[in-house]
Amino acid sequence: MSSGQIGREPILRRSRPAYRPMPESGLLVLESHHSASFSLEFRRFDFHKLCWIPVGRGALEYDKSRLPLGKDELLLIPAGDEHRFVDNPSAPLTLVIACFADRILEENQSLKLLIPEVKSRFDTPYPAVHLHSYRRGAVRDIYKRMLLEQSRGGPEAVAVLHAGILELMVHLLRGEPTNKATSLSR
């Protein structure tokens, strides 16, 4: 047990992805702790992903472009876009991801209103913001609450997951845009 893991199980760092099926609720929250040798193939998902990077550095590769990513960034990956995460081997990524199906947009009027706002404020295919200390703490707490509620299950847990997605979208809209230029990948 490392000094940072007192009272908790050691973190399992993965070298390959472990995909989980989307539950009936259309909402899924997961953590992915990458090892230095983590490898991921390009893939499309039929759900949206709100990704927070609490640790590490790397990039999101898509088409023939690359978006550099680092600690304390929050980004939105739309459903259906082919992409993959690539880790910096000296500082592998930890990703905390809130996934939501397209039908959640139809069911949640507030979320349905926020998506066009995100598209109008960001001129990149993957809106990304850097989180200062207040937002970082708030985003961390939202994901922790969502992970806990997801493990509990039930209709009240689904309500908390919906609320968490909304809160994360607001932090995405109010965060400081990274304004990173994408470049051609290798």
Confidence of residue 36 (pLDDT cuts 50, 70, 90): confident
Mean pLDDT for 74-101 is: 95
Share of the chain above pLDDT 90, in %: 71
pLDDT digit string, tens, across residues 11-28: 667 666 667 889 999 999
Cβ count within 10 A of residue 53: 22
Q: Is the pLDDT of residue 52 over 70?
A: yes
Q: What is the pLDDT of residue 113?
A: 92
Q: What is the pLDDT of residue 22?
A: 92
Q: What is the pLDDT of residue 186?
A: 45
CB 166 within 8 A of CB 141: no
Provide the β-strand partners of residue 87: 58
Q: What is the pLDDT of residue 2?
A: 34
pLDDT digit string, tens, across residues 140-168: 999 999 999 999 999 999 999 999 999 99
Q: What does pLDDT average to over the chain? A: 88
What whole-number distance in Å separates Cα of residue 52 and Cα of residue 77?
11
What whole-number distance in Å separates Cα of residue 132 and Cα of residue 72?
8
Question: Can you spell out the DSSP letters for the chain?
Answer: --GGGTTSPPP--BSS----PPPTTSEEEEEEEB-TT-----B--SEEEEEEEEE-EEEEEETTEEEEEETTEEEEE-TT--EEEEEBTTB--EEEEEEEEHHHHHH-HHHHHHHHHHHHH--SSS-EEE--HHHHHHHHHHHHHHHHHHHH-SHHHHHHHHHHHHHHHHHHHHSEE--PPPEE--
Q: What is the pLDDT of residue 16?
A: 67
Q: What is the pLDDT of residue 39?
A: 85
Cα atoms in the Cβ-side hemisphere of radius 13 Å centred on 42: 10
Q: What is the pLDDT of residue 71?
A: 96
